[in-house]
Amino acid sequence: MYAAVHARPDGESTVGRLALTANEYGFDGIVVRNHGDQPVSYDPERVESAHDIDVVSAVEVRATDPSRASGFVGSHRESRTLVLVHGGDPQINRFAVEQAAVDVLAHPMAGDGDFNHVLARTARENSVRVEFNLRQVLRTGGGTRVRALRDLRKLRELVDQCDTPYVVSADSRSHLHLRTPRELCALGDAIGLSGETIETGLEEWGRLARRNRTRQSDAFVEPGVRRVTDDPDEHSQTGPPEE
């Protein structure tokens, strides 16, 4: 299971501190998802070695219109393992689910955003994961929390009906915001998402990272085709298509 986090300067804690706590809490890895205008400098291999945890380089693209978002996605796609789009705005939500180059539509219900059956089906067709973001449930109260619960339940209904792929995150901006997978699963049971949904969504970050790392490797030719490096003729072999 993976924790998707914002590190300093986008958050309050360093990548190393987040990795240390995530490892202590039983996560297999962290996804460093800083916004594109808040980049973080760190050495993934050094953090991995120090804290015995996988570190996934990601970016959360934030833009005011689809054309700018498209440019940002293109500029980050080759250099980051995962590319997320900061959702909520209806136009940005639609843009994100239509782009196969996008891995995750982050918090699609945030702000004035909405998500419907059309977008859910489009996300499934393009293998774009939508995010169940638990930040407001964990760290707000009153009417804000009530609205967040309502939005999460609506999103769950759409995901179930349309078989849309998804991820789950506490969207931590500090090591103090991290919660163990067990605590998050218990929260899911309490708010109507189910612990199984939470667990599957936490695991999906790792599956996405493995898929994209394979695609970025020299051995990858196209979905279902990989180069055999131990063969002197370096011929290609086919296999099951990648999602």
Domains observed in the chain: 2-217 (3.20.20.140)
* pLDDT value for 111: 81
Name the band, by pLDDT with cuts 50, 70 and 90, for residue 237.
very low
Q: 170, 138 in Cβ contact below 8 A? A: yes
CA dist., res. 210 & res. 216, Å (int)? 10
Q: pLDDT per residue over 88-104, tens digit each?
A: 999 999 999 999 999 99
Q: pLDDT per residue over 214-231, tens digit each?
A: 999 855 445 455 555 555
Cα–Cα distance list, 193 to 5, 68, 108, 197, 202 (Å): 21, 34, 16, 6, 13
CA dist., res. 186 & res. 62, Å (int)? 31
Residue 193: how many other CB atoms lie within 10 Å: 24
* pLDDT value for 173: 96
* pLDDT value for 112: 74
143, pLDDT greater than 50: yes
- Pick from 78, 110, 79, 105: which is nearest to 93 by CA? 105
Residue type, 173: R
Q: pLDDT per residue over 43-92, tens digit each?
A: 999 999 999 999 999 999 999 999 999 999 999 999 999 999 999 999 99
11, pLDDT greater than 50: yes
Please give the DSSP secondary-structure letter assigned to residue 32.
Answer: E
Burial class (CB in 10 A: 0-12, 13-18, 19+), 99: buried
* pLDDT value for 228: 52
Per DSSP, helices labelled H in the chain are: 15-24, 44-51, 66-77, 90-97, 117-125, 135-139, 142-162, 181-191, 195-216
Name the band, by pLDDT with cuts 50, 70 and 90, for residue 174.
very high
The average pLDDT across 173-189 equals 97
Long-range pairs, 195-202, Cβ under 8 A, ≥24: 197/132, 197/156, 197/168, 198/132, 198/168, 199/1, 200/166, 200/168, 201/132, 201/166, 201/167, 201/168, 201/169, 202/1, 202/2, 202/3, 202/27, 202/167, 202/168, 202/169
Which residue in this structure is represented by tokens 């930040």?
Answer: 135
